[in-house]
Structure 1
Amino acid sequence: MLELNHIRKSFDGTPVLHDISLRVEDGEIVSILGPSGCGKTTLLNLILGLTDADSGEIRYNGEDLTRTPMEKRGFNIVFQDYALFPNLNVYKNITYGLKNRAHLTSQQEVEELIDLLGLRDHLSKRVDQLSGGQKQRVALARTMVMKPRILLLDEPLSALDGVIKESIKDRIKTIAREYHLTTIIVTHDPEEALTLSDRVLIIDKGTISQYARPEEIVHQPKNDFVRKFILNQLEIKRDNIYALFGRPSVAAAV
């Protein structure tokens, strides 16, 4: 279980996050959703340990991690640009982190992960021979072999579309369920957040607008910002969302 209590963060005197408190249960998939500049990436970096909070507390299973260095938190991230090694083939990219920590993951577990992510036929390929979806799967595999306590994803689907995007979305869900892995995803796409997550955290101007299950956000938006942000997206991709959650009530739309 991950807990954030009264987190605040400023850069050069400008507040970015205001009194953020939330709780992510073990094994949950949570999306952090909001427009550009709302503070969602800053929040992800605070959880990872890439930057420090000005005040507040971060706890994992009761342990205070607020000032714990990133490398000792046991959280791993897949960046938006994948950050793969172009001089290594797929297999060496996947196992790179195990060079000095081979005890973390057995060879059998590596092989099972390769099959789970559908990478068996690509192991000898160079990174520049892969599609965007294949690169994303390699980045996921490289992170998963390190057995993270929490998996963090920064805009994992932003460079993908169509069938490839849906395939990667399904694989992220499968990994989270198979490994009972707490997964936190930053996205600007409401449809992505609503269809991928157990709960969605919507941020506006550094504050929490709503933190709830997708169906609650669709049918019971907490304020005008959530209502407009979500309903605007529903107009664009309404068939996908309505198929899952039904149409929002008249009251929600007003």
Structure 2
Amino acid sequence: MLKLQHIGKQFDGKTVLDDISFEIGTGEIMSLLGPSGSGKTTLLHLILGLTGADRGSIVFGDEDLTRVPMKKRGFNIVFQDFALFPNLNAYENVVYGLRNKKGLVSPKEVQEYIDFLELTPHLNKKIGELSGGQKQRVALARTLVAKPKLLLLDEPLSALDGVIKESIKQRIQSIAREFKLTTLIVTHDPEEALTMSDKILIINQGRIAQFGAPQDIIGRPANEFVEQFIIKQLRIKRQNIFNLFGEMYA
């Protein structure tokens, strides 16, 4: 569904991304994982179309999108700060992007997305009256009603904690499965990547450190960086990861 080949990007003569290649299928969730400054957000922006690649190609389905403008790609992003309009209520935020897209979705379909994300009791609330988890669900609903071909999430859990974070993780997984929506998540947190994703792309200093399924990365870290970044950080959260991967992580 989405295929990147030999992507490279420089800013002011400095290489930010170098020879990035990967492929993910329909309905899969992939996390872009790495420390701050590793290039993962730049890669997300390249896929979205906010900035262009210096070399390489971006293919979605059978279409080469490398030089296609962002507006014509049909991808949508949920930003880290949700980017909701505080002067509008939750429902108005959900349907805001449909003003100039008459006929894209029916009122019944909009309500189905709202019901799926359990937002009906909160539709008349202003954004300031919502919890962090409710804001995230509004942002997700606003994105889903636009019927994106690809869903991009920039640090979607960073402002959440505890039960709310776990709930949103499950929502994101349900969205990908229910709507067969290929989803890319930028995160700096190994636990988030390992517990949410079908595949993980670990980036270090603009290059791929490892790409694979969570079980493969846990069981066979490709190099010392992955060992340090993934395994040692996860020892703090050992029980959560042990519950998922059992003896592999013991």
**Secondary structure at the counterpart of residue 247 of structure 2:** coil
Counterpart in the other structure of 1:205: 205
% identical equivalent positions: 65
User: How far apart are the structure 2 equivalents of 1:109 and 1:236?
Assistant: 43
**Secondary structure at the counterpart of residue 3 of structure 1:** strand
User: How far apart are the structure 2 equivalents of 1:249 and 1:235?
Assistant: 9
Q: CA deviation at 1:110?
A: 0.8
User: How far apart are the structure 2 equivalents of 1:6 and 1:87?
Assistant: 43
Letter in 1 for 2:108: Q
User: How far apart are the structure 2 equivalents of 1:199 and 1:75?
Assistant: 19
Counterpart in the other structure of 2:23: 23
Match runs of 1:1-254 below 5 Å: 1-248=1-248
Aligned residues: 250
Question: Contact conserved, 2:31 with 2:201, CA < 8 A, in 1?
Answer: yes
TM-score, structure 1 normalization: 0.97
User: How far apart are the structure 2 equivalents of 1:201 and 1:20?
Assistant: 10
Q: CA deviation at 1:248?
A: 3.6
Q: What do the CA deviations read for 1:80-139 (whole angstroms, capped 9, x no partner)?
A: 011001111100100011112131111111111111111110000001111111111100
Moved over 2 A (4+): 247-250
Q: What residue ranges of structure 2 are gaps of 5+ in the alignment?
A: none
TM-score, structure 2 normalization: 0.98
User: How far apart are the structure 1 equivalents of 2:124 and 2:175?
Assistant: 23
Question: Contact conserved, 2:30 with 2:198, CA < 8 A, in 1?
Answer: yes
Q: What do the CA deviations read for 1:137-162 (whole angstroms, capped 9, x no partner)?
A: 10000000000000000000001000
User: How far apart are the structure 1 equivalents of 2:131 and 2:102?
Assistant: 28
Q: CA deviation at 1:249?
A: 6.4
User: How far apart are the structure 2 equivalents of 1:238 and 1:162?
Assistant: 16
Q: CA deviation at 1:24?
A: 1.3
User: How far apart are the structure 2 equivalents of 1:70 and 1:5?
Assistant: 19
| Alpha-carbon RMSD | 1.0
Q: What do the CA deviations read for 1:172-196 (whole angstroms, capped 9, x no partner)?
A: 1111111000000000000000000
**Secondary structure at the counterpart of residue 121 of structure 1:** helix
Change (3 A) 1:247 1:230: farther
**Secondary structure at the counterpart of residue 164 of structure 1:** helix
User: How far apart are the structure 2 equivalents of 1:203 and 1:230?
Assistant: 12
**Secondary structure at the counterpart of residue 184 of structure 2:** strand
User: How far apart are the structure 2 equivalents of 1:16 and 1:247?
Assistant: 37
Letter in 1 for 2:159: A
User: How far apart are the structure 1 equivalents of 2:247 and 2:200?
Assistant: 18
Q: CA deviation at 1:26?
A: 1.2
Q: CA deviation at 1:46?
A: 0.2
User: How far apart are the structure 1 equivalents of 2:182 and 2:249?
Assistant: 32
Question: Contact conserved, 2:241 with 2:249, CA < 8 A, in 1?
Answer: no
Question: Contact conserved, 2:114 with 2:141, CA < 8 A, in 1?
Answer: yes
Question: Contact conserved, 2:242 with 2:249, CA < 8 A, in 1?
Answer: no
Letter in 2 for 1:122: H
Letter in 2 for 1:35: P
Question: Contact conserved, 2:78 with 2:139, CA < 8 A, in 1?
Answer: yes
